[in-house]
Chains A and B, each alone.
Chain A
Amino acid sequence: MSVTRNTSGFGKFHTFLIVAFFSIPCLMFSANALALSGSDFQAGNIIDNSLFFNSSAMSVDQIQNFMNAKVPVCDTNGTQMYSSTQTRAQFSASQGYSPPFTCLKDYSQNTSSVAGQAGLCNDYTGGQKTSAQIIYDVAQACGISPKVLLVLLQKEQSLVTDTWPWSIQYQKATGYACPDTAACDSQYYGFFNQVYNAAQAFRRYQLNPGSYNYRAGRNNSILYSPRSGCGSSSVYIQNQATAGLYVYTPYQPNPAALGDITGSGDVCSSYGNLNFWRLYNSWFGQSWGALIRTPDSTALYYSDGARKYSVPSMDLVAQYGLSARDVRYVSQGELDSIPLASAPYSNALGQVVKTPDDNDADGAALYLVNNASRIPITSMQQFSDFGFQSSDITYLSWDALQTLSLSTSSLSNFIQAPDMSVAQVSNGQLHAIMELSKLSAANPSGNITPLTTYTLSRFSYGTPLVDGDYIIIGPDSGLRLYRGGSYYVIPSFDVYNCWGLGSTKTFRVPSYTISNGSSSGDLNCIGKDSSNNLFVMNGSAKYVIHGSGLTTSSPSDSLISAIPTGTTPTLIKGSSPEVSVLDNSTGTKRPLPSLAMLLDLGYSPSSITSLPDGAYNFLLRGAVELSNGSVLIEPQGGISVVTSPTTRLQVTSIKQFVDFGFMYKFALHATSTELSQYASTGNLSNYVRTNDGVYLLDSGVRYSIDPSLNSNLGIDPSTYPVLDSHIINATSQTAMTAFIKSTTNSAVYELQGGQKHPLASMTTFARETNNHPEYLLRLSPEMVNSFPIGSTIF
């Protein structure tokens, strides 16, 4: 009894459904193993050196098993139909080939020993060997990957998958000594001959790369087809393995072939190297990519085929022309099988490279790796100029070096950044050059090396190579005034103007980095030369001032000296309406509170000199400039009267305020700061001494005191400070006498010795005044009371 035999229709259907259910996922993506596209093909990098020259990529058993897998059943007798009317045997016979056919997996032959040749293949020991053994042994002797040989056998004669191969296919198994458009050279016929000579050829190309038509590290013109008229294109061949493939088969796929990698393209399509790439990638995985890692670790290495180097960063390998696209994932076993580079090689990649051997094909050449090329460093002096040290040198194999395009120009000490700025390199620093004339003079050869941003990041920028004063306009449109290694920021147009910078050479730069310098702060219009002379600059003239504590700018003496010296103004103003008196002994401006004050002080509005804010605002700000006699209303309510630009006297009472007629004077509600700038010299006295004379002030009247009255009044005016007559604002004036009375009392007094003596009667008054009744002065009660009372005069 069998389960399968007794199934009903429904049972079969169920079985189908279940199988279908679990098959769907597999059917949908079974072809997912490797999806190759022509766009993945890199003409200059068909296969990496590390894969091409890896002789231990497969064991004999793996080779055999692989070939077995590719030919499940060999049609030894050619019994399968070749066409509708002919079996393979019949067709073969018609072409001169008769069964039995031996598939590659079953092939064996007696091989002769071959002595090794220095630099090519080691000794090969002959004997009766299977094809797998021959492939393996030749791979070992010549240092070529067995995978490469298998692909070569398939690419040239389809031997790996052919189920009924002819003898001619073995005779020219690897196409060695077979031009594409002519007959093969029969002396190289035979499977072993073909495999061995092909492997040896690749080693020969590697040993003498300069002797062949295609070279790694060069731009090479490669034809699309043997057919004439199909054209060619330039290909930079990145490695020896790829160069070898082109020497062996000197054609590259054209766009039609790349668009149809398993088809036939057009009449100009050559598939040889494309087939090599396609077969290798579909049978043995990714063929390109010098960067290797395992899926389980982020550690990245650069492999030159024989050893691996640690990769410090993707930014660095970008200089090698490599990107994430060049990363090849390998098994841990494969990674471990490639030794980490050791002496004389460096174990990690760097940017300054050379081969360890000074006597190899490359000599002692040192290179800077930059933008996928190696730029020869011309001398140890240049090495030093760039600030490189011996510890910066990475020793790479020649194989690794030649993956980098050799720059057609040697390294220049004059470099160009991606932003097109140019700099000279010295002492490990970059010194920006802004002027073409300067560049031409310093670099007559005109050789300038473009460097990438990454390479430039190794260096710092030093002082730009510009003589004298110059202006930099930065990427933010900001302006800076430079001289030597320092600069001032130019904050505004009026500051630009006050220094007369219109004729100063100006450069627009893409980055402030290249115009490195130390900042001296914002430029203003208070200039200071190297002798510490101070000037107020306004572009058309400079004015000498003195003082200390000013914020000054000292960009250069030459800029200061280029501006003529003018007469230092007294009245100045900035862009605001404020007008000030300039005290050029202290560099102080004293604002005038009003036009009236300006006039009151005796100035003319026509004498005001306009200064840029960069000057005006940077002068020290002094107290408000007030005329003598101006009133300061103190924050605490007290009142003072200005007696000089720096002094004041305290007004002791409202009565005194009235006595002096201050209500008609300019009054300023002074801040404590302003008040402090007028030093109080004491209380105001109603006796005032001026250059005109001595006065007693009372109720808005000033009484002039003849010196003969001093004793009557009991005063000594010589001890009084001499005040400005402007302090007195009394509108009327009369002569002081010795006879007074209060406006509110009928008592009449005669002043004697500073006392008021009541006069007993009008008769007494007449007698004392000698009948001059006009001598009697009517003073305020307060003033009368201010005199101490004396004895009555009868």
Chain B
Amino acid sequence: MCLGDNRYIISLLLMANKKSFQPKPFLSKASTKAIALFVLVALVIGGGIALYRHKLDAKRPQISDKINYSPPTKEEQAAGDKQKQADINAQKNPPPSSASVFISDATQYGDTVEVRAYVSNVTENGGTCTTTFTQGTRSFSVDTHAFMDASSTQCGAIDVARSKFATAGTWSVSVKYTSPSITGESEASSLTVN
């Protein structure tokens, strides 16, 4: 039972207030002790109830398909203010001077070497991703058409047949992005060809 269980509390409040119809002198020492004792007992019993309720709640698993209709937390209330500041700051960002290219995967899967890469600071269509594989003096490149996405420019599927690699072993991979507006190249990534 919490404060939401009103009927019981209201009746208790009424009982307490009925006593207050009779004028009372200042609190005597005995009354003070009684009140202190009452507070102590209230805390102990209340704590016990709380602990028991907590244990019961802990034992019962929570349903996941719930909707939390409770009021916003302080953090949620402050989120709008922070967001506005972030938006203001974002507008002040200068245009990027070079494309930030990142290789998210470069692995041989079966007979295919698969590379995935993207440009994190540009969202545009029309660019080209040039993926270069290097092993010693051997080197070859593959071009893919890049395309814009929600928050990045994707290099798309860079899938290369294993047969294109003259030898097995460790190869180096790098991806260069080129568009009319910007260029940039990833750090080299290591690739094991079996």
Contacts and interface: CB of A to CB of B under 8 A. Distances in A.
Interface in B56-114: 57, 60-72, 75-77, 79-84, 87-88, 90-91, 93, 95-96, 100, 102-105, 107, 109
Interface string B145-158: 00011111011110
A179 B57 contact: no
B116 A182 contact: no
A158 B79 contact: yes
Interface stretch (B1-9, B135-143, B164-172): B1-9
A283 B150 contact: no
B83 A25 contact: no
Contacts of B21: 6
Residue picked from B83, B102, B150, B157, most chain A C-beta under 10 Å: B150
A14 interface: yes
A43 interface: no
A161 B149 contact: no
Interface string B12-35: 111011011101100100010001
Given A23-B3, A163-B80, A181-B120, A295 B20 contact: no
B47 interface: yes
Contact of B151 (A25, A70, A175, A408): A175
A33 B68 contact: yes
A182 B97 CA distance: 11
Residue picked from A25, A95, A178, A285, most chain B C-beta under 10 Å: A25
Interface residues of B, number: 84
Interface majority SS on B: helix, strand, loop or mixed? Answer: mixed
B183 to A, nearest CB: 15
A210 B84 CA distance: 36
A744 to B, nearest CB: 111
A57 interface: yes
Contacts of A34: 62, 68
A510 to B, nearest CB: 30
A262 B109 CA distance: 39
Interface in A393-447: 406, 408
A180 B100 CA distance: 12
B123 A185 contact: yes
B44 to A, nearest CB: 10
A32 B84 CA distance: 31
Interface residues of A, number: 100
Contact of B9 (A18, A184, A210, A262): A18
A262 B49 CA distance: 31
B68 A283 contact: yes
Contacts of A329: 61-64
A214 B150 contact: no
Given A21-B45, A24-B46, A211-B154, A165 B66 contact: no
Interface stretch (A216-224, A382-390, A575-583): A216-224
A265 to B, nearest CB: 14
A14 B62 contact: no
Contacts of A334: 63, 65
Residue picked from B39, B67, B91, B123, most chain A C-beta under 10 Å: B67
A284 to B, nearest CB: 6
A154 interface: yes
B96 A181 contact: yes
A177 B148 contact: yes
Contact of A180 (B50, B91, B121): B121
A53 to B, nearest CB: 14
A183 interface: yes
A214 B64 contact: no
B191 interface: no
A766 interface: no
B147 to A, nearest CB: 8
B47 A24 contact: yes
Interface string B36-48: 0011001101110
B69 A13 contact: no
A169 interface: yes
Interface string A248-282: 11100000000000100000000000000000001
Nearest to B108: A408
Interface of A: 3-4, 6-8, 10-15, 17-26, 28-29, 32-34, 51, 57-58, 62, 65-66, 69-72, 82, 95, 147, 154, 157-158, 160-166, 168-169, 175-185, 197-198, 201, 210-215, 218-223, 226, 228, 232, 247-250, 262, 282-287, 289, 295, 328-331, 334, 406, 408
Given A158-B76, A284-B68, 19 more contacts: A19-B13, A24-B49, A25-B50, A29-B53, A33-B70, A70-B71, A147-B67, A161-B80, A177-B148, A183-B95, A185-B148, A213-B152, A215-B116, A218-B105, A221-B102, A262-B75, A283-B67, A284-B65, A406-B109
11 contacts: A10-B24, A17-B35, A17-B39, A24-B46, A34-B62, A158-B82, A161-B79, A182-B93, A219-B107, A283-B68, A331-B65
Ranked nearest first, the 6 interchain pairs of A and B with the lowest CB-CB distance are A11-B20, A162-B80, A24-B46, A25-B50, A285-B64, A158-B79
